[in-house]
Amino acid sequence: MIIISVVVLGGIGLISSVLLYIISKKFEIQEDPRIGLTLEALPSANCGGCGYPGCAGFAAACVKAESLDELLCPVGGKAVMDKVAEILGKKVTEVEARVAVVRCQGDCEARAKTNVYDGLKACAAVSKLYAGETACAYGCLAYGDCVRVCSFGAIYINESTGLAEVDEDKCTSCGACVKACPKNLIELRKKGPKSRMIYVGCMSKDKGGDAKKACARACIGCSKCEKACEFGAISLVANLAYIDFQKCCLCRKCVSACPTNAIMELNFLPEREATEAKAMAE
Amino acid sequence: MLKTFRIGGIHPCENKFSAGGQIRQAMLPERAVIFLAQHLGVPAEAVVKKGDMVKVGTLIGKSAGFISANIHSSVSGKVARVEAMPDMSGYRRPAIVVDVEGDEWEPTVDCSEELTVHTDLDAKDIIKRIADAGIVGMGGATFPTHVKLSPPPGLKAEIIIINAAECEPYLTSDHSLILEKSKEVIVGTALLMKAVGVTKAVVGIENNKKDAIEALRKVKTEGIEILPLKARYPQGGEKQLIDAVMRRQIQSGALPVSVGAIVQNVGTAFAVYEAVMKNKPLIERIVTVTGRGVVQPSIFRARIGTSVQSLIEDAGGFVGNQGKVIAGGPMMGKALSSTEVPVVKGTSGILLLPQEESYRRKSNNCIRCAKCVQACPMGLNPTLLMMATEFGNWQLAEDNYIIDCIDCGSCSYTCPSFRPLLDSIRLGKDKVGTLIRARK
């Protein structure tokens, strides 16, 4: 009795193993071992900032691609891309660093509240329902949809201004906040030397008078900055100025030309200190 | 035993302060703001420009698609601007601003109060007149009426249901309309029956309006039944009303005409009467201005484009601590961020709540009591849908029919933990809707 069961079970086991062996050989999928190696070099944040579905997708794309020119892991930056290039024996070109900026400066002082919202605390819910708690229909709602999607703790709501702000050192320019903002306020811009940046801190497409009434620091579409710019970096579309960061040379002429202080300069020394520092250096 | 819908529902305090009140003509505005999108679907295209003179009833916006509606001037005067103006939500939408001069009507409009009963028009002509007059659903959803009266091929209506339930607390516009214009409403209903080629119509009306039921019964004509319904919210929901009247349920995503019903609001029936018999386009509507925050709750016949502020002043102004101003009823209405917005075709009421009535209580954790499940008239599971939205689990939300939600707010009303269920579900519904459309 025991022998029969041993023989039957052993037979089944033997036949199955042979079948499995044949099937595994016949339908074997050859995966490039370099994909695994590349994946190990990546930060495994799976943020999707590169445009691929997670780090595995990006690794596969790196292996498949002819050159790494168009590929960048925004989280790991140059260091990680160098490692990837080494593994794959490909060359990596220098990519410019980018950082997220919030294009609204309508703080509590500049943009007074006109009503109170007491519903679900989410920007997406507010913006679907109505324009928001101020008279500006384009500004930051400060209910933190961007904060919730950031995997790196790089964006936060500043309680004193009631606006979203970016911590440039932590920002990896993965772009999750750009997608989350229902008002399209967040943009990834080129990180200048010493992370200096100049951009229009307003997205209001209202006519000048209406925009100014709603917010003291609104872009009123006066085109003064456009005229002040010597590099043709500023364009005016639908009552709103936009500074092309590829053309901008950070000369700051537009900043002083703006009558409403709508143009932001980040990480610059104040004018007078800058000249003093220059004199000191000389 | 009164008829009602079979699933869920609630009964909030009725608070119908202005019940049975007389309809007053609201003052003509000095400047009328008329939006080009006062209906569901494609906004109308402006056919006038700055400086043009218009009369009451002049076509100023032309229907620009299959689901779209004409827009007519509600005042006479000069077009001051054609530009984007803030609407009820605070966002700017294309509008035509008319500076009012006098009150001159288009000569084609019959302004007499006489009742006209007979017409030689056939079904096609009736629908054409309704389309020309820019009539949309007056209950608040503002779906173009002529589209609803032309069911897609293969579907045939058996019955017209006139929605006179007025289940929203506070609002009494339909109630007063029936009391004053019962004959016109019945003629309008007969026209709707003729337009879709049916011989039966049912007027569904909540039993808390006994005088209106009497008034309608006195003047009803052949084929029209006046059916009192239990006072229960949302009795006036399209699917709920069909269930109450016909005992039929509509499949998820299907049109009401798939079960043989076309539902029209009683205000729409009146507008149809005026459009077909009097050649009068949709340029005014009945608006209830009510609530504990207003001096004299009143019912107005207001021109489209009149500002909400002027209606409130007409009703005596604010009283007590000003809280929320809501366009529509307390259940489905939307709070306004400014009273300087105009009345549109879908404004059924202006509700003024004092401060002490209008705050939201702090939301707590869900205690799994399932009161929302019991209250949902669509048989959904609101607490599950809210959770699915919070975690971004769109598949779970879709599998549990989040898009069937009718925004009635019964779940939020009944929740003992004061959770913002509807806020969340609305967000999820929008997201799932976008995902479904992207798949097609």
Closest CA in chain A for residue B421: A120
Indicate if the pLDDT at residue B213 is higher than 90: yes
Predicted TM-score of the model (pTM): 0.86
Q: How confident is the model at residue A278 (pLDDT cuts 50, 70, 90)?
A: low
How would you classify the pairing of strands A240-243 and A234-237?
A: antiparallel
Nearest to B139 by CA among B407, B347, B352, B344: B347
Residue-averaged pLDDT of chain B = 94
Half-sphere exposure of A216 (CA within 13 A, CB side): 7
CA B288/CA B280 separation, integer angstroms: 22
Q: Residue B426 is encoded by which pair of tokens?
A: 């609305």
CA A276/CA B376 separation, integer angstroms: 70
- ipTM here: 0.86
Q: How many CB pairs under 8 A join A and B?
A: 44
pLDDT score recorded for residue A82 = 84
Q: pLDDT per residue over A180-192, tens digit each?
A: 999 999 999 988 8
Indicate if the pLDDT at residue A274 is higher than 90: no
How would you classify the pairing of strands B45-46 and B59-62?
A: antiparallel
pLDDT score recorded for residue A23 = 93
Closest CA in chain A for residue B386: A120
User: What does residue B387 show for φ and ψ, rounded to 5 degrees?
Assistant: -65, -45
* Average of per-residue pLDDT across B423-430: 94
CA B382/CA B425 separation, integer angstroms: 7
Q: Please name every residue paired with B85 in a beta bridge, in sequence order, or none if there are none.
A: B93
Q: pLDDT per residue over A60-84, tens digit each?
A: 888 888 777 777 787 887 788 888 8
CA B230/CA B239 separation, integer angstroms: 16
* Residues of chain A with C-beta less than 8 angstroms from the C-beta of B86: 131, 137
Q: pLDDT per residue over B27-40, tens digit each?
A: 999 999 999 999 99
Q: How confident is the model at residue A273 (pLDDT cuts 50, 70, 90)?
A: low
Indicate if the pLDDT at residue B220 is higher than 70: yes
Q: A125 and B360 in contact by Cβ < 8 A?
A: no
Greatest alpha-carbon pair distance for chain A in Å reads: 102
* Residues of chain B with C-beta less than 8 angstroms from the C-beta of A129: 89, 334
User: What does residue B100 show for φ and ψ, rounded to 5 degrees?
Assistant: -80, 130
Give yes or no for A37 touching B (CB within 8 A).
no
Q: Please name every residue paired with B45 in a beta bridge, in sequence order, or none if there are none.
A: B62
pLDDT score recorded for residue A281 = 66
CA distance B424 to chain A (A): 7
Task: Quote the distance between the C-alpha of residue A261 and its chain's center.
Answer: 25
Indicate if the pLDDT at residue A44 is higher than 90: no
Q: A129 and B360 in contact by Cβ < 8 A?
A: no
Signed CA dihedral, B286, B290, B295, B296: sign only: positive
Q: Please name every residue paired with B59 in a beta bridge, in sequence order, or none if there are none.
A: B72
How would you classify the pairing of strands B23-25 and A263-266?
A: unpaired
Nearest to A224 by CA among A256, A264, A271: A256
Q: Residue B217 is encoded by which pair of tokens?
A: 């019964």
Give the ranges where B12-90 is alpha helix by DSSP (H).
none
Question: Is the distance from CB of B406 to CB of B385 less than 8 angstroms?
Answer: no
* Average of per-residue pLDDT across A195-215: 90
Could you tell me the CA-to-CA distances from A140 to A144, A197, B88, B91, B105 in Å, in that order?
A: 9, 20, 20, 15, 46
Burial class (CB in 10 A: 0-12, 13-18, 19+), B183: middle
SS3 A240: strand
* Average of per-residue pLDDT across A6-16: 96
User: What does residue B98 show for φ and ψ, rounded to 5 degrees?
Assistant: -115, 125
Indicate if the pLDDT at residue B239 is higher than 90: yes
CA B267/CA A60 separation, integer angstroms: 62
Closest CA in chain B for residue A132: B90
Q: pLDDT per residue over B368-384, tens digit each?
A: 999 999 999 999 999 99
Half-sphere exposure of A273 (CA within 13 A, CB side): 4
Indicate if the pLDDT at residue B318 is higher than 80: yes
Q: pLDDT per residue over B45-87, tens digit each?
A: 999 999 999 999 999 999 999 999 999 999 999 999 999 999 9
Q: How confident is the model at residue B312 (pLDDT cuts 50, 70, 90)?
A: very high
Indicate if the pLDDT at residue A36 is higher than 80: yes
| Residue B139 CB neighbours (<10 A) | 27
* Residues of chain B with C-beta less than 8 angstroms from the C-beta of A119: 360, 420, 423
List, in order of start, the domains of chain A with CATH numbers.
34-88 (1.10.15), 98-271 (3.30.70.20)
Indicate if the pLDDT at residue A277 is higher than 70: no
Indicate if the pLDDT at residue A12 is higher than 90: yes
Q: Residue B378 is encoded by which pair of tokens?
A: 């669509």
CA A176/CA A51 separation, integer angstroms: 11
pLDDT score recorded for residue B132 = 95
In terms of pLDDT, which residue wins out, B322 or B175? Answer: B175
Q: pLDDT per residue over B126-162, tens digit each?
A: 999 999 999 999 988 899 999 999 999 889 999 999 9
In terms of pLDDT, which residue wins out, A273 or A245? Answer: A245
Indicate if the pLDDT at residue A50 is higher than 70: yes
Place of tokens 């004193």: A160
Give which of A129, A141, A145, A213 to mutate to test B binding, by max B Cβ within 10 Å: A129
* Average of per-residue pLDDT across B182-201: 95
Radius of gyration of chain A measured on its C-alpha atoms: 27
Q: Residue B7 is encoded by which pair of tokens?
A: 């699933």
Give which of B89, B326, B337, B418 to mutate to test A binding, by max A Cβ within 10 Å: B337
* Average of per-residue pLDDT across B194-206: 95
Could you tell me the CA-to-CA distances from B436 to B14, B228, B440 in Å, in that order?
A: 38, 39, 7
Question: Is the distance from CB of A205 to CB of B91 less than 8 angstroms?
Answer: no
How would you classify the pairing of strands B201-206 and B224-229?
A: parallel
- Type of residue found at B367: I
Indicate if the pLDDT at residue A51 is higher than 80: no
Indicate if the pLDDT at residue A49 is higher than 90: no
pLDDT score recorded for residue B381 = 96
Q: A120 and B359 in contact by Cβ < 8 A?
A: no
Q: B338 and A130 in contact by Cβ < 8 A?
A: no
Q: How confident is the model at residue B226 (pLDDT cuts 50, 70, 90)?
A: very high
Share of chain A above pLDDT 70, in %: 95
Residue-averaged pLDDT of chain A = 87
* Average of per-residue pLDDT across B234-255: 94
Least confident of A30-34, B213-217, B297-301: A30-34
CA distance A160 to chain B (A): 23
